Amino acid sequence: MFKNYMTSVWRYISRNKAFTSINVLGLAIGMMACMLITQYVMHEFSYDDFLKNKNQIFRVQLDRYDKGELSTRWASGCAGVGADLKNDFPEVQYYTRLTQRNSVFAHDDVFFKEDYAYFASEDFFRVFSIKLLEGTDSVVLKDPFKIVVSQSMAKKYFGSENPIGKLLKNNGENDYEITGVFEDLPDNSHMKIDILMSFSSLNKLWNDPITSWQWDGFLTYILLDERTNVKAFEAKLPAFVQKHAGEELKKYSASMVFHLQPVTDIHLDSDFIGEFKQNGNRQSTYFLSIVAVLILIIAWINYINLSTAKSIERAREVGVRKVMGGFRSQLIQQFLFESVLLNAVAVVIAIAFVILLTPSFSDITGRQLDYLLFRQKMFWVWMGLLIIGGALLSGLYPAFVLSGYKPVEVLKGRFKNTNKGIYFRKGMVITQFIASITLIVGTFTVYRQIRHMQEQELGVNIDQTLILNSPNVVDSTYQQKFQVFKNTIEQYSEVAGMTASTSIPGRQPGWNAGGIRRLSQGEEDAKQYRVILMDHDFTKVFGIALAAGRSFSAETSDEESSVLLNEAACRQMGFQHPEEALNDKIFFWGDTFKIVGVVKNYHQESLKKAYDPLVFRYGKSPGGYYSIKFNTANVKESLVNFENDWKTLFPGNPFIHFFLDDHYNQQYKADQQFGKVFGIFSTLAIFIACLGLFGLSSLTAIQRTKEIGVRKVLGASIPSILSLISKDYIALLGISIVVSTPLAWWVMTTWLQSFANRIAMEWWIFALPSLVVIAIALFTVSIHTIKAARTNPAKSLRYE
């Protein structure tokens, strides 16, 4: 019987090469798209799964409130909470805290600036099961001025030498002894760490235990006992806060709330101040999961539609088989076997495509997928289920329809005039185009939102701006050297100006200060602000407009006691108009400052976020970034000159530079990647739908060949025949548009909620994709209809 089934399938495929190719190709593309997206989704959900005690590790995330209003959300919260949690609660087995500090490390004449160097407390390797290749987890970070490096860092500084016991000098001041080497963190970790210095070193450097609850910027992780009820433990934290900081917070009408973030949820659910790196987005990941399912459904719908439509041509075959004694169960088995075989071939082709396209897809998504899917045992189980399940879903209905034909009706040729299966196929076509239109609207909306953010006026000029990381290795002559460097750079004809600041546009200010208020206000009116230290050329170089007052001036004595506000900070302090703020005084951590100017709001960060209240303080040579505004076609030549001047004045410091517009647009990278992925798979969905429509319209044209011939004999024109054949599809598309419009509006409005500055969902955003789909569908249908209409009527009337 199996041999008979194989013979039957082979004859069927050889006689219907084009139809079978369309069917299998549609299934293969759908499965390929589903697999690629599944690889990405699996990668996103795999973050930190490699940790041994992943279900017991939690990050202590901090929300700070002013007068009951949420003011800041910290990933890196207050310094003292970890030790107090360990002391107060037996459920906490271990805790570790980390804080980042700008560092240039040197060994002999090799030196590098390391962006991912952290001070970490001694139990870091007990909390996180990161493999130590050298050293013991309980002691490598115990003593002051000890350091642990990643495997790649060890190779970077020492080559093939054993680094244990060797010294690295930090910022030209203190030597740290290497006590351990840890395995490089995998790509699917929410942490990015290259170097860890012992936290006890900070206590020595600052001669003060770091236990403050009002000092933020410290990441705290705890390892809970496996028997701990996490929700019950978290419910104890408000009383814990009241015990340790209640009286201090009450002075400022402030409060703080701690949340326990499961370490495996951080990547998809966390976007707070002080993250290790830019995280993913759970909502976007779910959206892509839905896209994967929709594409697979569209591919299966194609198979069902084409198979049931093609079944009309196989009606006589079924009738003859039944007359010759074939049972219905045997016919069902035959057609299901055919479906399983086609699905299996589609799966093989899909896997081949996935292997070929995964490297390119990794580049698009910005994730190292590394054929993650194929290394999962469950993947191959699911592939088997996909073949069987797909065959049943896509082949069961056609099998029962085919096997249910009545031999008498079929052999008399009356079956073609029935409506069996037509409504089902129409429903499937409608479903396909609802999904396709929704995906196109989504792609269009994502593209417009990203363009909107990139094209909006920022209120700050970021063009033609070179950024240098300020030196870390400095001495008592730094301020004098900075002035010499600035004067030297500004002598170049292509340079319009240079400024120094602790932050630049496109980066969240690292200085977040609470307790700031007007001198005339009480402590209960104090609020939190972002603070930027800058020299007098900052507003000029970046073209930031003044709303009132003046900017900083190098000629004004005691300018260090002056501040600027932006309009958001001005309003937060209670001023109705910028002019009211001028010459008023503010209290800032025990010091008094005079407001000399108010700058207009500008987008310090991406347009995804609202304007932050900013306070600008004056410094003659603030560390952080040097911003050079220049205009020249000879960029390489200018960079060589700048680097030579840098090396002369700041030896031992790497010359690290980047262009501000590129840096600023990095904030949109995740959204751009999401838009690309969404767009690619939306296009694939349309292609699959049109592939099915192409096959369906081909069969329709073939089945109505005689009708078209009769109409031509009676004088019908080609346009009228085209209109006749197309109107059914136009009706189906109309229904699809009516249903998909509110669905697409709801989905994309939900997505846009995460943007502070967002586009409006105007009517044409839905109309344009709908017209595109109609045009594509009509073109697809017209190809076969016009071909049939142009056929000689004599041939058409002899058909069959």
Q: Which pLDDT score, from 0 to 100, does residue 394 have?
A: 61
Q: What is the pLDDT of residue 417?
A: 45
Distance CA(512)–CA(590), nearest Å, equals 16
Q: Are 623 and 667 found together in one domain?
A: no
Q: What is the largest CA-CA distance in the chain?
A: 109
The span from the CA of 708 to the CA of 787, in Å, is 11
Q: How many structural domains comprise the chain?
A: 4
Helix, strand and coil percent figures for the chain, each rounded to 5: 50, 20, 30
Residue 240 β-bridge partners: none
Q: Does 450 have pLDDT greater than 50? A: yes
pLDDT classification of 778: cutoffs 50, 70, 90: confident
Give 676-729 pLDDT, tens digit per residue: 888 888 888 878 877 777 766 766 666 677 777 777 777 778 788 778 777 877
Q: Return the SS3 of 73.
A: strand
CB atoms within 10 A of CB 795: 10
Burial 642-656 (b: 16+ CB within 10 A, else e): beebbeebbebbbbe
Distance CA 560, CA 568 (A): 22
| Model pTM above 0.75 | yes
Its domain, for residue 321, covers 1-45+282-420
- CA gap 326, 317 in Å, rounded: 11
At 225-273, the pLDDT tens digits run: 999 999 999 999 999 999 999 988 887 778 899 999 999 999 999 989 8
Reduced 3-state DSSP string for 567-590: HHHHHHCCCCCHHHHCCCEEEECC
Same domain, 224 and 297: no
Higher pLDDT, 281 or 548: 548
Nearest in space to 601 (alpha carbons), one of 624, 575, 571, 574: 571
Structure tokens at 290: 């839905």
Cβ–Cβ under 8 Å, residues 405 and 314: no
**Shared domain check, 63 and 35:** no
Strands 591-599 and 546-549: antiparallel
Residues 596 and 528 in one domain: yes
Q: Is residue 431 part of a domain?
A: no
In a domain, 434, yes or no: no
| Whether residue 242 is found in the same domain as residue 319 | no
Residues in Cβ contact with 67 at an 8 Å cutoff, skipping those fewer than 6 apart: 253, 254, 524
| 362 and 495 share one domain | no
Specify which residues 58 forms β-bridges with.
222, 262
Return the half-sphere exposure (C-beta side, CA atoms, 13 A cut-off) of residue 282: 9
| DSSP-based three-state secondary structure for 479 | helix
Contact 478, 471 (CB under 8 A): yes
Q: Quick one: pLDDT at residue 205?
A: 87
Regarding whether 258 and 137 lie in a shared domain, the answer is yes
> Which 8-state DSSP code applies to residue 458?
-
Q: Look at residue 429 and tell me if it is in a domain.
A: no
Residues 3 and 86 in one domain: no
Inside any domain, residue 294: yes
Q: Which two tokens stand for residue 509?
A: 């200010």
- Report percent pLDDT > 90 for the chain: 43
**Average pLDDT of the residues in 31-56:** 91
Q: What is the DSSP letter of 533?
A: E
Which of 657, 680, 705 terminates a domain? The answer is 657
Judge contact between 689 and 298, C-beta under 8 A: yes
DSSP-H helix ranges across 105-162:
124-127, 151-158
Single-letter residue type at 541: V
The 3-state secondary structure of 640-700 reads HHHHHHHHHHCCCCCCCEEEHHHHHHHHHHHHHHHHHHHHHHHHHHHHHHHHHHHHHHHHH
pLDDT tens for each residue of 322-348 = 666 666 677 777 777 777 788 788 888
Provide the mean pLDDT of the chain: 86
Classify residue 493 by burial, with Cβ atoms within 10 Å: 0-12, 13-18, 19+. exposed
- Using DSSP's 3-state secondary structure scheme, residue 515 falls into strand
**Of 269, 294, 318, the domain-final residue:** 269
Cα 69 to chain centroid distance, Å, stands at 29
Answer yes or no: do 640 and 699 share one domain. Answer: no
**433 part of a folded domain:** no
Please answer whether residues 154 and 181 qualify as being in contact, where contact means their C-beta atoms are separated by less than 8 angstroms.
yes
pLDDT of 116 higher than 90? yes
The answer to whether residues 122 and 179 touch, using CB atoms and an 8 Å cutoff, is no
What value, to the nearest 5°, has the Cα angle with vertex 687 and ends 685 and 692? 100
For the ranges 155-169, 416-430, 772-786, which has the lowest average pLDDT?
416-430
3-state secondary structure of 512: strand
The pairing of beta strand 562-566 with beta strand 614-618: antiparallel
Residue 276 lies in a domain: no
DSSP string for residues in 600-612: PP--SS-TTSPPP
C-alpha distances in Å from residue 240, one per residue of 62, 236, 355, 397, 525: 13, 6, 53, 62, 25
User: Do 668 and 748 share a structural domain?
Assistant: yes
> Hey, which bits of 348-483 come out as E strands?
465-469
Average pLDDT of 418-441?
75
| Domain membership flag for residue 241 | yes
For the segment 413-441, the average pLDDT, to the nearest whole number, is: 71
Q: What is the pLDDT of residue 799?
A: 52
Q: How many helices (H) and strands (E) does the chain have?
A: 26, 25
Q: Do both 194 and 71 map to the same domain?
A: yes
Do 637 and 604 have their domain in common? yes
The H or E element containing residue 99 is strand 92-100
Residue 435 lies in a domain: no
Domain ends where: 657, 679, 697?
657
